[in-house]
Each structure stands twice: as structure tokens, then as C-alpha cells.
Amino acid sequence: MKRTLFRNGWVVTMDDTIGDIENGDVLIEGDRIAAVGRALEAQADEVVDASGMIVMPGLVNAHMHTWQAGLRGIGAQWPAGAYHRHVHANMATRYTAEDTYIGNLVGALNQIDNGVTTLFDWCHILRDLAMAERAVDALEESGIRAVFGHGTAKPLPKPGETHHSQIPHPRERVEALRRGRLASDDRLVTLALAILGPEISTAEVCLADYRLAREFGLVSTCHVSYPSGQRVQENGWPALATAGLLGPDHNICHGNALSDEDLAFILDHGVTLTPTVMLELQAKADPPLTVRARDRGAVLSLGIDTEPLCAGDMFAEMRAAWMHCRHYENVARAARGEPAGPIAVSAREVLRWATMGGAKVMRLDHRIGSLTVGKKADLVLLDTSDLDLFPVFDPVVTIVGYACGHHVDSVYIDGIARKRRGKLTFPQDVLRAKKQALIGSVQRIIADAGLSLPIV
């Protein structure tokens, strides 16, 4: 097995037993971290000079609709409701298996380029097994570690058609994937179920979907984003709990409109949460759940959600989450007639959400999320020599408060270099062709949808 030694970097391990190590070393052997420390005496096939670099765990994007990469920015100024009208009810219905593949491939490569080593691909466009297979093909081709969240399309029904809230998750597709290429949980790409959840499915469908995930031993995840009065079930959580279907193997995204009582109930059953702060500040009436959930001891992670509306940069997402927490606390203090006080949420806590938190959501925290000996060799090098990052006094503050994707010098996933010296190792001629294919795909989809730019 190849041994690679990263020498003399500022190592941010996110392992509380190790901490941060200035002028530290990391040794990887094959696909595992073999040693972390200072002045390691180790033989290596390759020595990477990490001087002037921050060496950190790869970021974990815990919620993203990767197939939408070709629609990046198209709806950033849309009014409320336009996203579902233009995307799910129209453009998504025009996607083929190949469109899904090219969106997923370019989207996953962009995540690697921006320091993400693990992605929860919430693929809610799927109408058949061929689309699912091509989505997985793209993830595997990119080299990213991914949990493929098999979801279902949500078009507006035509007269006589059944609404998607009444359609159970397709068992035959889950069986084909779970008993076929995604049978193992030890692969780089694994399977989860992106289900409707209690807010957008009937009680019968909801119970069936959660039971399906449990039957196949899969993490399940759902969107929780509708205010009271707009939900298919006003409160479906007690029925799921009574059936024994709520636990740490279930994740909810958003949750902004949850009452304090419902939030406490969900967290009492061990459910994990994924705010997507940039998206929620733009598109939700209620504030992100980060502070309320954090104060109740939730397992928190962070995700991008949808690139048509916000940037696919997890550094920007961390920064938005941190700033929102500070603003939320300041507003609360002002409402009590108190001056602004100490910062309640540290940069390290936010980085934990984007590393170990995401790992826990995916139930991969025994493998990823920190630079711990024995874990998978998923790590990122940030070049701190740029004028907008130099000098560094606290590497964690630098990561959360100042860094962005263009500072990512290197990305290793499963011990394999997927980005080096600021460039993806994915063949550049192939990448150029794939980018052109993505442009062609999206232009056809927009035309078939009867739309023209700018879409309003």
C-alpha cells in the first residue's frame, strides 16, 4: 500500500483527543490514516510539503440535490413558489437518465474542487431505475465518497393521476440497488432513502416508506419545511414514534417551521438535523434551526441544498451558519434589553457540524469526519499564502470565517489524490467535454420546458 506523508502543516484534526498540531504531520497508508503527530519518523513513498498549509478533514455536505448543477444560479432571484413551479413541475420532468448523469458528475466534481470529500446526494428527480443507475455512475466516476439518497420525482399530477403524496417509495428500485451494486455499506458510494416524510405524504405512505428503509437497513431522510396549514399531515411524528420508526437512522432537512414542542419530540427520539442556512435565509420565512436545535443538544450537520438558488460552497455555508448564529443571539439579547454578549457558537463548533456532524448524520462517523488514526484518508489541504487568507492566527477561524474553494490546494479521498496543486486530477480534456455536455443538456431542457432566460 502506498504511504504518503504530509509534512509540517497546521493540522486541524477535529479529534478532541489529539487537537490541533502546528507544524504537524499526517501519514496515510493506502486508504487509511496511519499516524498523526509532530516530526513523525516514518518511511513514505511520497512526501507532501504542507508548509503554509492547513491540513484538515474533508468537508461533509450532508444535503444536496446534485443533479441540479446545470441550473446553478438560475433561480437566485425567484419569488416564493417559483422553484417548485419551474423546477419540479416543469424542468425536472424533462430530465433523462443521461441528463441526471451529467448533472451529478459535474456537481460532484465541483464539490471535490471545493474541499468536500463526502456528499449526501439527495436525488429527488428519479422516475425509473435507469435514472438512478446513471446518477450512481456519475458519483463513482467523480471519485467522491457519497451516500446516494434515492428519491422520487414530484411532478404536478395531470387529471386522473395520483398525487405524489399518495405514492409509496418504489420498493422494486430499492431492492434492485440494495441487492445489486449498492449491497455493501463498505463501498465509496452507499445507499440511503430520500423519502417524502410526514409533511408531504399521507399517513399510510409515510409509515410504509420508513418501514422500507428499516427493512433494508438504510438511513432515511426527508424534507421538513412547510408551515402549519400547508402540510399533508399536520403532525405525523407521534405515529412514527409509536411504530418505533424514529431514531438516529433518520435525518430531517430544514425544520425551520417546527414548533418547539415538535422539535423537542423529534430530538428526544435521536433524529438528526441538517440545516441548509444559505438556502433557508433566502427562501424560508422562519429562521434556520441551528440555534434552537443546538441549544437542545441536537446532532447537527450542514448542507448546500439547491444550487439553482445558492452557491455550492461549503465554506460559504459554514460562514453563513456562523454569522446567522451570532445574529440570532444578538437579536435575542436585544429583545431582552441586553447588550451583545460573548459569542455563543464558536468557529470550531461550526466546523464540527460540517465534518463530524455530517458524518454522524450518514452514520459514517466511525470512518470519516476527523483525522483519527484508523479512519479513512479523507483530507484537505488549504493554501494559506493567498493575501485574503494570510496570516493565520487560529486555523479554525481561518477555515470557517475566511476560506473558500479557491484556497483548496489538495483533496484526498480514500487515500487517492482527487485534487493537487489547485487542480482536479480528473482528466482535464474529459472535464471540458463533460462541461459542454452539461450546457447542451440544460439548453435542451429549458427549451423543452417552454422557458427562456431569464426565467422569472
Cα–Cα distance, 214 to 195 (Å, whole number): 12
Give the residue from 58, 56, 61 showing the smallest Cα distance to 107: 61
pLDDT attached to residue 398: 98
* Structure confidence by residue, pLDDT tens digits, 151-165: 999 888 888 889 999
* Structure confidence by residue, pLDDT tens digits, 38-97: 999 999 999 999 999 999 999 999 999 999 999 999 999 998 889 999 999 999 999 999
Cell of 121: 446526494
Query: Which amino acid belongs to residue 73?
Result: G
118 forms beta bridges with: 60, 145
Distances (CA, A) of 233 to 155, 223, 224, 264: 19, 13, 11, 18
* Structure confidence by residue, pLDDT tens digits, 260-301: 999 999 999 999 999 999 999 998 889 999 999 999 999 899
Cα–Cα distance, 212 to 3 (Å, whole number): 42
**Helices (H), strands (E): how many in the chain?**
14, 16
Q: What is the pTM of this model?
A: 0.96
* DSSP state letter for 167: S
pLDDT attached to residue 80: 80
Cα–Cα distance, 412 to 1 (Å, whole number): 15
Give the residue from 223, 209, 206, 227 showing the smallest Cα distance to 173: 209
Could you check whether the bond before residue 454 is cis, i.e. omega within 30 degrees of 0?
A: yes
pLDDT attached to residue 143: 98
Cα–Cα distance, 194 to 212 (Å, whole number): 11
Alpha-helical segments (H) within 269-341 = 277-283, 290-294, 314-335
Q: What are the two backbone dihedrals, phi and then psi, of residue 418, each rounded to the nearest 5 degrees?
A: -105, -10
Is residue 118's pLDDT more than 90? yes
Cα–Cα distance, 165 to 272 (Å, whole number): 23
